[in-house]
Amino acid sequence: MRVALGVEYDGTAFHGWQFQGDVRSVQESLQIALSKVADHEVTVHCAGRTDTGVHATGQIVHFDTPSIRTERSWVLGTNVNLPADVSVCWAKQMPEEFHARFSAIGRHYRYLILNRTYRSALWRDRAVWVHKPLDEQVMHRAAQYLVGTHDFSSYRALGCQAKHPVRTMHSLSVTRQGEMLSIDVHANAFLHHMVRNIAGVLIAIGKGEQSESWADEILALRDRTLGGVTAPPQGLCLTQVDYPEEFALG
């Protein structure tokens, strides 16, 4: 039986999603908890690997098991065995052809920026603090250069292992609610550090350090070494993963 889970986690104390053996990871925590419920060793596959300090409210994972449990039992039993900074939100039995990563057709991320003169004690691990005033309207206009299908070489990490840098950006918006700015990104897939590199460029533009067209100029260079600063991880959260309608996970 193949089972999909909806998972949320606070990435602050994790060294990212992926199991690394000698450091704390979200994958390891889930596999330990699920193995206790399934009564056998479980391997978990995710829709999108997140880096150290990055959060998720809409991560999707799957695992295979011969054990028969109700969907409610998978959720409650796993949560009992998970640390407080990871939680399973739902479980659903899936067909064998479903794969959390390879069946996904879209991913959504949100990057939060706290824009005020003084730092926050409460938002320190959830949003990036920028004390200089940001113009969210200028940032939004600059972001529109990146919508569409492009070679995002300038916006991926130098160590990115993706086979090709072309991605389709469905939407990219920058909005403000009081002191909080939100960069919401929806694409078919993402490159390593892609959202954080986009955020770094938009922040520089929002401060007035660069022009609106700088986002497009960097894109055209196709050279990460000529791009902007990579924004910190704590503002980033994986919020949703899209799948074809036949899987009924929407």
What's the pLDDT tens digit per position in 48-71? 999 999 999 999 999 999 999 999
CA separation for the pair 84, 152 (Å, rounded): 36
Which of 72, 85, 84, 69 minimizes the C-alpha distance to 35?
69
Residue 11: the pLDDT is 97
Residue with tokens 């889930």: 30
CATH fold group of domain 106-241: Alpha-Beta Plaits (3.30.70)
Residue 227: the pLDDT is 83
CATH fold group of domain 2-103: Alpha-Beta Plaits (3.30.70)
Is residue 111 annotated as involved in ligand binding? no
Active site residue 51: yes
Residue 162: the pLDDT is 86
Residues 6+ apart with CB under 8 A from 134: 113, 115, 181, 203, 206, 207
Which residue among the candidates 10, 22, 51, 184 is catalytic per the annotation? 51
Residue 226: the pLDDT is 86
| Residue 14 amino acid letter | F
- Give residue limits of the domains in the chain: 2-103, 106-241
Residue 158: the pLDDT is 85
Residues 6+ apart with CB under 8 A from 51: 11, 16, 17, 193, 233, 236
CA separation for the pair 101, 112 (Å, rounded): 25
Residue 21: the pLDDT is 80
**Helix (H), strand (E) at residue 115:** strand 106-115
Sites in the chain below the pLDDT cut of 50: none
Per-residue model confidence as pLDDT tens digits over 147-157: 999 999 999 99
Domains 2-103 and 106-241 in one fold = yes
Residue 141: the pLDDT is 98
